[in-house]
Amino acid sequence: MKVEEIIRQVPELSNEFLSLENLRGGLCNQTYKVQTKQSSYILRINSRQNEYLKLTRRSEVEVMKKANIEGFAPKVIHSNNPEQFIVTEFLEGRMLEKNDLKSDNIKGMIMDRLKRIHRIEGKSRTCTPYDLIHGYLKGADQFQVKHPDGLNRILHRVEKIAHKRNNDKEYNNKFCHNDSFLCNMIYTGQQLQIIDWELSGVGDVFFELTLIPFTNQFSETDEREWLKLYFGYFDEEMFHIFQDMKFVAMVREVAWGMFYSGFTKGESNIDFDYYNFAEYCIERIEHGIYQL
């Protein structure tokens, strides 16, 4: 469905329509800012990745509405056809950046949002890091994507980690965003809002906690402080779990890259080499580096 067709069928967008802006930066969905005389909106045209992950867009919308009621996600404006597109309010603000992590206030807001996400009731929507890895790999196999060298070795370790984490009933069974990178956090100057809920589901809190550190080159000291900020205390056992889940997070990136190399094959408008990214992640893993 073309953008113009969607705008025509959504009253909030078509009424006194002024302009359309392509918001580049996302590697999965197509996202636009739609300006009308009355307001500004975000139109997200969804990719089909959720079909491979067995996550429905309708359950995603339910989560988005819950998060909005809690005060940390944009309002859903239109979701009659969520498998194709969703319209939300536009948030006046900016994406968080690495330098924001120097602010104790910002870090405190991030932790507050993560804790509130982890209290969301939504047991029917499950999305563990292992679900993500297996879903992406299954999709890659359907697209006949070649397995990079070293893939089987890292998957074997993932299985061992998953087995160990099964014993943690407290933090391995909480609702998680699962995509809580800085680029999915919008700072309005007063509030911190979380966007892109498509991978959310019941999962592992420790996996969630790795995502910002492993993409922002945290030192060991930074990681220990990060864990203490969330839990209120620190011990070596949680630090070892954290390292295991950083490994799992890197493997998720490998599987994601493999999947999208097949999913986007033949598309002329793609300028990101997903397969090369997957190989790059495996290389870092083999050197013991669990950071992007």
Residue 152 lies in a domain: yes
Same domain, 187 and 43: no
Same domain, 132 and 85: no
Q: Residue 104 is part of a domain; what is its CATH number?
A: 3.90.1200.10
* pTM summary value: 0.93
Same domain, 171 and 246: yes
Same domain, 251 and 141: yes
Tens digit of pLDDT per residue, the chain (292 long)? Answer: 789 999 999 999 999 999 999 987 666 788 999 999 999 999 999 888 888 998 999 999 999 999 999 999 999 999 999 999 999 999 999 999 999 999 999 999 999 999 999 999 866 899 999 999 999 999 999 999 999 999 999 999 999 999 999 999 899 999 999 999 999 999 999 899 999 999 999 999 999 999 999 999 999 999 999 999 999 999 999 999 999 999 999 999 999 999 999 999 888 777 889 999 999 999 999 999 999 8
Same domain, 142 and 173: yes
What residues make up the domain containing 83?
Answer: 3-90
Same domain, 206 and 272: yes
Same domain, 191 and 276: yes
Same domain, 257 and 184: yes
Same domain, 83 and 218: no
> Which among 73, 90, 107 is the end of a domain?
90
Look at the chain and report how many structural domains it folds into: 2
By the 8 A CB rule, do 232 and 257 touch? Answer: no
Dig out the tokens for 148 from the structure: 């990079």
Same domain, 49 and 103: no
Same domain, 75 and 128: no
Q: Residue 64 is part of a domain; what is its CATH number?
A: 3.30.200.20
Residue 292 lies in a domain: no
> Which among 29, 60, 90 is the end of a domain?
90
Q: Is the dihedral of CA 213, 110, 194, 174 positive or negative?
A: positive
Q: How far apart are the C-alpha atoms of 283 and 272, rounded to whole Å?
A: 18
Q: How far apart are the C-alpha atoms of 263 and 236, rounded to whole Å?
A: 40
